Amino acid sequence: MDAAYDVVVIGGGPGGEVVAGRLVRAGLTAVVVEAEEVGGECSYRACVPSKALLRPGAARAAARAVAGARQSVAGALDAAQVLARRDRFTGRGDDSGQADWLDGAGVALVRGHGRLAGERRVEVTGADGTVRTLRARHAVVLSTGTEPVLPPVEGLDRIDVWTSRQATTADAVPERLVVVGGGVVACEMATAWRSLGASVTLLVRDQALLTDWEPCAGEEVTRGLTGLGVTIRFGVSATRVARDATTRTVTVDTDDGATLVCDELLVAVGRRPRTADLGLDSVGVRAGHWLPVDDTCRVTALGGAWLYAVGDVNHRAPLTHMAKYQARACAAAIAERAAGRPAVPGGGQAWSAEADRFAVPQAVFTSPEVASVGLTERAAREAGIAVRAVEYRVDDVAGAALYADDYRGHAKLVVDEGRGVVIGCTLTGPLATELVHTATVAVVGEVPLERLWHAVPAFPTVSEIWLRLLEAYGL
C-alpha cells in the first residue's frame, strides 16, 4: 500500500523525532520510519544508560570528597541496584513511551527498514517481509545515526565482544574487562565498570587519552582513571583475540608481546555511518559514507532540495544535543521551502544551523568530568586564527575548595585576539559538565571580553573560575 506525506523521516532517534515533531508544528505532515526502537541509540544503548551507570560512582566519590560526609560512606556500590536503576531509565528497550510521544505530536510511525527507491520515494520492509512505499511531497530526511567499528584484529570477527551497545546494557559486572580505545566511550565505560568492581585495563594505541581535546583533559582523565585503579597501557594495540569455548574467557595478545586474559572485551575505536543500505545509489549518492550537508542539512551531493540528513550521519557534530539542534534548523528550512520561501544556508536565519561548526559543547562523565566547547588552541591555530590561550587551576577558586576537600580541576580559555571574543573553552573537575553551558553562551553569542567582564559570578561558587580566567587574560 502506498501512502503520501509531506516529509518522510528515516530513523526515529533524537534527530528524527525532533525534525518530525517540528514539521508537524509547522503545519506539514510527517512520518517516521524506524527499524529498531523509537528514541534511537541514545535512549537505550548510549547516553542515557551510560550516564545512569556512571552517576552512582560519581555520587559516592562526591560524598567521600567532603570531611564529615566521608566518614558515613563505606563499602562498595550495590551493582544490582545500579543496573536496576539504569533499566528504569531505558525500559530495557521498551519504546512504547517514545512511540506514544510521536502519536501525540501528530507524527505517523511506520516500523520497518526504510530505504530510498528513487526521488522522494521510500520503501519500507517490515519484520514480516512485507514492503510498502511512502511518497514524500517535499522532502526525505535521513537520521539513521552510526554503528560501532571493529578494527582489523585477528580473531575479532569470530568472537562475541562488547561494543558500546553491550557495555551500556550488560546485566552483570565482569570480573576482568579489557577496553580497546582511548576516546570518550572507552574512558566513560572504564570509569563505570571499574566503579562497579571490575578490574579494568585500557589498551590505548596513542600516547594519550582524548587526543582530540586539549591536553589537560586527557591528562586529568588519565590521573583520575589511574586513581580508580584502572590500568592504562599507552602505545599498545591488540593484535589477536580468541574466546575459550569452555570458560568463555577472552585472550588478548598485544603488539608489545604481552597476553591478557579477561571475561569481556570492549572495543571502542570509532563509529561509521549507517548509510550502506539506505538505497542512496537509487538517487546517485554514494552508499556507505558520511553525508555532507549545508547549514540547512540538505545533502550537498544531490541536486535540488528534497534530501536532508541530520545527526551523526552527516558527521558535522556527532552528539545527541547537536542532532536535535540540526533537526530544528532542518525542519524550519523544509517548512520555508515547502511554502515557496528561500532558506539560504549560512545566511544567519533562524533556520540555519551553524553552531555545529564552531560551538559544539561536549560533556564526558569520567572522574573527573571534562567538558569543552568551541575550538582547541591547536585547532584554532591550524585554522589560521591569531589566538591567545589562558589557563587557571580550578582548585584555586574558593568555591571549588568548599565544594570538595580534594577538588582538582583545570580550565583553559582560547581567545580570538582579533575580535576579542572567546572561541574555545575546556574545563575539568567536578561540575565541569554543568559549567560548560556558560562558555557555550559566550562562544555562540560572541560576547566581547570587555562585556563578559561584567558578568560577575556569585561567590563562593565554582563559576568564579570565569573571573579568574579573565583576570589571567589581563582584565
Split the chain (475 residues) into runs of 10 and give each run's mean pLDDT: 92 98 98 97 96 97 95 94 98 95 97 98 97 98 97 96 97 98 98 98 98 98 98 98 96 97 98 97 97 96 94 96 97 94 63 86 97 98 98 96 95 98 98 97 96 97 97 96
Domain boundary among 269, 291, 310: 269
Q: Write down the pLDDT at residue 2.
A: 84
Residues 21 and 102 in one domain: yes
Residues 380 and 394 in one domain: yes
Residues 251 and 382 in one domain: no
Instruction: Decide: 171 and 93 in contact? Cβ < 8 Å.
Output: no
Indicate whether 48 belongs to any domain: no
Indicate whether 455 belongs to any domain: yes
Residues 374 and 343 in one domain: no
Residues 114 and 138 in one domain: yes
Residues 19 and 137 in one domain: yes
CA geometry: angle 152, 222, 44, nearest 5 deg: 60
Indicate whether 87 belongs to any domain: no
How many residues make up the chain in this entry? 475
Q: Write down the pLDDT at residue 354.
A: 87
What domain range includes position 191? 156-269
Please tell me the distance from the alpha carbon of residue 185 to that of residue 167, in angstroms, as a whole number: 9
- Which of 340, 313, 359 has the alpha carbon at shortest distance from 16? 313
Residues 401 and 451 in one domain: yes
Report how many domains make up the chain: 3
Indicate whether 69 belongs to any domain: no
413: domain CATH number is 3.30.390.30
331: domain CATH number is 3.50.50.60
Instruction: Decide: 101 and 17 in contact? Cβ < 8 Å.
Output: yes
Residue 460 grid coordinates: 563562593
Indicate whether 51 belongs to any domain: no
Q: Write down the pLDDT at residue 289.
A: 97
Domain boundary among 269, 294, 323: 269
Indicate whether 53 belongs to any domain: no
Residues 405 and 346 in one domain: no
Using only C-alpha atoms, what is the Rg of the chain? 24
Residues 138 and 277 in one domain: yes
Please tell me the distance from the alpha carbon of residue 443 to that of residue 459, in angstroms, as a whole number: 23
Indicate whether 362 belongs to any domain: no
Please return the burial class of 128, using the count of CB atoms within 10 Å of its CB with bins 0-12, 13-18 and 19+: exposed
At 305, the amino acid letter reads A
Residues 172 and 226 in one domain: yes
Indicate whether 80 belongs to any domain: no
Q: Write down the pLDDT at residue 345.
A: 54
Residues 404 and 450 in one domain: yes
Q: Write down the pLDDT at residue 344.
A: 64
b or e along 437-474 (b: 16 or more beta carbons within 10 Å of the residue's beta carbon)? ebbbebbeeebebeebeeeebeeebbbbbbbbbbeebe
Residues 136 and 181 in one domain: no
- Which of 224, 232, 188, 209 has the alpha carbon at shortest distance from 364? 188
